[in-house]
Structure 1
């Protein structure tokens, strides 16, 4: 994290820098473009211009933030944590200007995408914001570039972004330029004009003549790096005499010539300092003391930084420094040419110093520079546990791939952690190679990672065996052991859900979350939350499950990569939102997180997300999209060798055929499904089959084919098991199917008793469990409503916002299902005072279905205020004063 914090401050401006007024008026004026790309090779003054723009915004009390990107930001988890730190800094540093209304960062695999989360935080500042992002050219990963693409495409009013890069970034720039939302400052724009060069040399009292300045401008073409180098070299008495000599050089060739002049100004020990510290990725006083054998390196670095001698500070306290890349490149080339042995020694000393001071990534960089693979492997092994726990999977994979196999194969601890990363990222072939290497170390602690890999492959019994072996071995108290203990507990909780031991599952998941907090592992915390929410849903506590997921802690929400935990979290959230009929929220979340779920989710989490979305599309009348998603999920099941997922999706096809009234086709498809190879023991129920799968669909097929005795036999068996295991969600479905079967046999009294019992269990928000049965359920609910059943339960208070304004659950479900207007025994209402307009008729139709103003507006593409305006007129025409009165009049037969 220290490295990230160092990059959140702009470098200190060099002394004597001339204001680039003509450029500043373009990029930070009130009418400047929201996005400015400052693109040029090294040495053109990009960072200097950005520093001046930053200072200008600060003077005008504009909320400003700075980030210098690093190669490590290609790991999306590390990038989002750095951006989180940047936004926190904005919040705190600007609190004295206007107190922001900040919330914890929303999960990217949760209520919003990564870009949505960041944009939300920027909007909550409630003031103009300008962000400066330097060294953008280091980003190459599609995830990182995609994040900035989405950010730039949706910058809210008042938020601007200035980007410095050596290359044009791939962030949808063409579209932004066409929309006049961006402009590019080119290398030619950054060149000094004659007047700027005259002002620049005048600042330093160089006493150059106009002719001399013209010569320099002509030969440097105004290139800032060459101009600055020439200014520095003027301290050498011979430099001015050499003005004529520079005619022999092209502008880009001047750097080496002029740098030689700059170096020659300084004493030998300073020249030696320049050369021998040039290989360092970053410099501090203690590090340079260790390299150079001196005690004043910090003071020297600060002096060089102050003089503008191509040293810049990385923090406001002047503890860390860095050479300008152009200057560093020249120095490194010279050191490599003149003293290769010393270059090697510097890298070795730096690697040791960084390791001893806890900067392991820097240590690896220097060790790899001299091919000290043993040292680099040792550092990665030390660091790898934290990388896995924090979800920095791309980082661990990247550095592992830099190491020759002969060094890593001898370190089983490292191999175990690499297996974690490769398993989470579904890198099947490399994972198989690592597991084969681990076979040579039977005493290594690898049962936890092997159990996780088994569950990802849907080898349930293999996962169970490894989890039991891991629990029997016990775990240590170091952070990674706590992480593995948490993973074991979560897996045991996962399996306990299958076996119906729900209280035991809860206990395991509490242990998992506790261990995750002890290990400071958002991975483990997030995984335990996802599985705990499923457990609550199984037990009939849907509203609690939604609350648990919506209140996930901020640290867990920063696990924003394609991980198993993120996929499980997103899938469980989609599932509970769908079950509670929050369809728009579920669809938005699925669209944002589908790639994460498809790439990393365990079979049951993948299934509940995909099936929920297939049904959502069907419910909203988009059968083509539902069929396309069903086929896409089936292909993924076959490609991933996940037969249980393929079978579950086959049963979903059976259900859809039944709802379409094609019973013969449904029965034929059901007969072709082979459940003989089902890896789940008898009496177990994977949570993806809680209200679906083979057992439920066999009941459906038998019921619609009129095989009553078979239906009753199957129901008795399944009801007994569901009651015994406390599976309330499954019990709701079974009772509803029993009620439908009884109603079809004219056992109306029994049907209504079963329905009433199902409704009582569903009070915490189980809406879709009824609506997903289609016409048979609607027919039963309509008959029950006409009979004016007594003791019909109401939704729990927390459910009301999603269940409509009806008086009881039956009315609510019928309205949500879009059933025809219900005729009660109330007197016919008086006629309308005047006819409804076409728009009012549209609104009345949606109002009768229980939609709220926002939902009506979204459906009709009008604002919520416009809906309110129309409702006022509608109420007047209906002769009512409230929403509930309007719904009642519509329900008792008023034409809509």
Structure 2
């Protein structure tokens, strides 16, 4: 993505700027006090940018080593990847030694890249100002969240400055309450009478009396742009008092009048230049020459700056300028008043020049503004590879929504990508309709034999039938129609040509998903093996590594733990060999390996891989898989004897869950129900069963026990066992066992539950038969937690199995890891009110060397929540300090 350098230049101090020492001192005081944020928020025309230019010049005069990173934002920057690219460009422009690079995969890398940037700034020896001008254009929640993240972790030497026409959607109140904010508002920025007098008489040389200055200052309420417009109108007036006396009315009409006055006093060629170039957000001599179809624009821009005619230089070489926002708005309104024909022509001329000079995005914007939709469609088609590669999906969707439907229907490539955008946004009906339109357009294009206007587009058209079939498979997957998904994926595979590795990979992927959802795991594993091969041949190693996750999930469901482990370890090793930054999905691979190692009983290694994933940040974790980190951590915490913590983490997993392409074979609500059942909180588990339509009648032959509901039904079987409804549980488990054996899936968990059901009913002899089968299946693969997590009931059955000589070595290994009780020390019963599991966990951390904030981070809770837990602990232990609580807990055996 090309970066427009002029957005990074600090605006030069205007020659007619009024010194404002009172405001400069307020800004300096905020910097000296170490406050995090300076906010300058006021409507247009209040001199915000001019003031910041003066402040920066003053600050750098006082401290020549001060670095300033400046970024002028506009509407197109409300896009995560674009914003991040420009932010890093601004930083690197200020200090090239940093060299932090933007990720290639848009919002997934935001937090990790900012973390790297913060770490770089924390090493800085000098102060740094990061200025974001025109911040009102930033509305995307992920971008606002990124700025909050930056503020929350701001190094001492870095100071953030935000200039905005409106209050940004940031925690301003919190920063103000915490003494971390310096703010200037319209009331601060308005010219005082003295400043107005300085501007009007010393800068504009009008020679007004004190009464006239006071009257004008009062009527404009110190609004700087209003005073400037008034001053320009007064330059050649003889009846000054009459003008000032008539200077009344609402701002809109006053502004319209003043702009008329300013324009009418310009020579005709300057007036035409101003009106014709008003369509441009940024002006340069060559661009203005193209739009006006004249020459000499560079000289005109320089003279406009000298005359203080609302032209702001954007670089120190005076090659790029912009009009004052308010002035540009007024010029555009005047231009539009003459009809749409001239603005449309001007936009088209701008679009042509911008395309020829490699500024594709701006060229599209002007083509759309000109309503030259065929040109815009062609430009968008050419820009699609770049936009999709940089993951600017929001930009693409915004462009497509501005094109008339009949134009899109004539451009099948655009129609297909519009269908995809609709599918991603959840509008399945629109996606279906646009795919139909695209197919018709493609058929017409093929029939006409019209050549594509670009080789890249020719390739897009050639492979479009495959893309359409793949997207139809995706649409079927979103609707839960596994049969249609398989049909369209097979069609896509048949349509692929030799060498179309991406097409084959996508088609094979949906075939694998269909097999997975249907419970045909052998076919699913084979299909994803083909996907990985195709992606590697296409040179897409990152996505190829990502296929390890669904493949390993299916292998685990088949009970093939060792093969899944080898696949994960190989993928993690290959990802590590790619250098920095690591490929997308590297963090996901560590999470998957962590889950596997937890099952194999290696909790320290499992925790280490989760820590590695977290350290890699969003840059190496897909958004769709982010929830799995919380699931994996919840299962570790449960294995460590902290079920309440596990429930909290599963709640976080629910909040991060995004429905993706993978079938939901282990629903999070069912995981929570399993923790409740283990805790004996059967009311919560029963509520879960009711909510999901599960009941004791699930063992009936009329109930569908498909693979996608297997996890739910196994959880229901656990609930029935806990309720001592053994016959119902065993009938359900018999049906589940038949289905799993037919589908060639692992039956180990089902056999374990059969053993527990018999054991709960007192039939130890009957329990040993399924237990022996489960042990025989599990021992070669190294299962641990599947047995150990069942606790005391399983321990009793394993001890009986050992006496019968059933897998004695394996049984001894499992018994070593089973907690002798529910994890709650006996001493707790001596308290009047026992501590909860959560409070016990907090108490053990209070006995460590960790600080309060460290404990809060360890538990993933806020400091206020930690204080609440601590208060309850102190009350129950009858103490009033942390050391006293630790001593009391130690005496009771709670530690």
Tell me what 1:40 maps to: 42
Tell me what 2:530 maps to: 508
Tell me what 1:884 maps to: none
Q: 1:870 to 1:809 in 2, by over 3 A?
A: farther
Deviation readout 1:438-487 (Å, 9 max, x if unpaired): 4645856210110111112121121112112112211698xxx8765553
TM-score calculated relative to the size of structure 2: 0.70
Deviation readout 1:378-436 (Å, 9 max, x if unpaired): 33444445545554444333333333323223332222111111111111342343244
Query: Could you tell me how far apart the structure 1 residues matched to 2:436 and 2:156 are?
Result: 55
> Number of residues paired by the alignment?
788
Tell me what 1:675 maps to: 704
Query: Could you tell me how far apart the structure 1 residues matched to 2:650 and 2:537 are?
Result: 29
Instruction: For residue 321 of structure 1, give the secondary structure of its aligned residue in structure 2.
Output: strand
| Cα displacement (A) at 1:601 | 2.9
Summarize the alignment of residues 576-655 of structure 1 with structure 2, pairs less than 5 Å apart. Answer: 576-581=632-637, 594=654, 597-598=657-658, 600-602=659-661, 604-605=663-664, 607-615=666-674, 649-650=692-693, 653=694
Mapped contact 2:513–2:662 kept (Cα < 8 A)? no
Query: Could you tell me how far apart the structure 1 residues matched to 2:298 and 2:662 are?
Result: 56
Q: 1:213 to 1:359 in 2, by over 3 A?
A: same
Deviation readout 1:591-643 (Å, 9 max, x if unpaired): 66746635x43472485444445545766888787777778xx6xxxxxxxxx
Query: Could you tell me how far apart the structure 1 residues matched to 2:95 and 2:488 are?
Result: 52
Tell me what 1:122 maps to: 118
Mapped contact 2:535–2:544 kept (Cα < 8 A)? yes
| Cα displacement (A) at 1:569 | 1.9
Q: 1:738 to 1:852 in 2, by over 3 A?
A: farther
Verify: 1:246 aligned to 2:275, yes or no.
Answer: no
Query: Could you tell me how far apart the structure 1 residues matched to 2:396 and 2:386 are?
Result: 10
Summarize the alignment of residues 711-750 of structure 1 with structure 2, pairs less than 5 Å apart. Answer: 730=746, 732-734=748-750, 736-737=752-753, 740=756, 744-746=763-765
Mapped contact 1:486–1:513 kept (Cα < 8 A)? yes
Instruction: For residue 131 of structure 2, give the secondary structure of its aligned residue in structure 1.
Output: strand
TM-score calculated relative to the size of structure 1: 0.70
| Cα displacement (A) at 1:217 | 3.5
Tell me what 2:600 maps to: none
Query: Could you tell me how far apart the structure 1 residues matched to 2:688 and 2:715 are?
Result: 22
Deviation readout 1:709-750 (Å, 9 max, x if unpaired): 97997687677668x6xx6xx455356446647865437876
Tell me what 2:817 maps to: 812
Q: 1:488 to 1:175 in 2, by over 3 A?
A: same
Query: Could you tell me how far apart the structure 1 residues matched to 2:636 and 2:797 are?
Result: 20
Tell me what 1:403 maps to: 403
Q: 1:240 to 1:163 in 2, by over 3 A?
A: farther
Gaps of 5+ in 2: 444-463, 589-617, 849-853, 875-880
Mapped contact 1:106–1:554 kept (Cα < 8 A)? no
| Cα displacement (A) at 1:530 | 5.0
Verify: 1:82 aligned to 2:83, yes or no.
Answer: yes
Q: 1:14 to 1:514 in 2, by over 3 A?
A: farther
Higher relative contact order (CA 8 A, sep 6+): 1
Query: Could you tell me how far apart the structure 1 residues matched to 2:46 and 2:277 are?
Result: 24
Mapped contact 2:69–2:93 kept (Cα < 8 A)? no
> Quick one: which of 625, 631, 643 aligns to 1:569?
625
Verify: 1:311 aligned to 2:330, yes or no.
Answer: no
Instruction: For residue 426 of structure 1, give the secondary structure of its aligned residue in structure 2.
Output: coil
Summarize the alignment of residues 462-541 of structure 1 with structure 2, pairs less than 5 Å apart. Answer: 462-474=484-496, 486-495=505-514, 497=516, 498-501=519-522, 504-511=526-533, 513-514=535-536, 528=547, 531=550, 534-535=553-554, 537-538=556-557, 539-540=560-561, 541=564
Query: Could you tell me how far apart the structure 2 residues matched to 1:585 and 1:820 are?
Result: 15
Mapped contact 1:109–1:593 kept (Cα < 8 A)? no
Instruction: For residue 40 of structure 2, give the secondary structure of its aligned residue in structure 1.
Output: strand
| Cα displacement (A) at 1:157 | 7.2
Mapped contact 1:136–1:169 kept (Cα < 8 A)? yes
Instruction: For residue 281 of structure 2, give the secondary structure of its aligned residue in structure 1.
Output: coil
Mapped contact 1:610–1:630 kept (Cα < 8 A)? no
Q: 1:739 to 1:621 in 2, by over 3 A?
A: closer
Mapped contact 2:104–2:390 kept (Cα < 8 A)? no
Q: 1:625 to 1:335 in 2, by over 3 A?
A: farther
| 359-368 or 252-261: bigger deviation | 252-261
Tell me what 1:190 maps to: 189
| Cα displacement (A) at 1:534 | 3.2
Summarize the alignment of residues 230-379 of structure 1 with structure 2, pairs less than 5 Å apart. Answer: 238-239=236-237, 242=240, 244-250=242-248, 252=251, 255=255, 259=259, 268-294=268-294, 296-298=296-298, 300-301=300-301, 304-305=304-305, 308-314=308-314, 320-337=320-337, 341-379=341-379
Q: 1:174 to 1:433 in 2, by over 3 A?
A: farther
CA root-mean-square deviation: 5.6
Query: Could you tell me how far apart the structure 1 residues matched to 2:790 and 2:274 are?
Result: 76
Query: Could you tell me how far apart the structure 2 residues matched to 1:374 and 1:308 are?
Result: 40
Q: 1:215 to 1:787 in 2, by over 3 A?
A: farther
| 220-229 or 28-37: bigger deviation | 28-37
Q: 1:192 to 1:614 in 2, by over 3 A?
A: farther
Query: Could you tell me how far apart the structure 2 residues matched to 1:415 and 1:785 are?
Result: 66
| Cα displacement (A) at 1:821 | 6.9
| Cα displacement (A) at 1:191 | 1.0
Mapped contact 2:410–2:441 kept (Cα < 8 A)? no
Query: Could you tell me how far apart the structure 2 residues matched to 1:45 and 1:356 are?
Result: 35
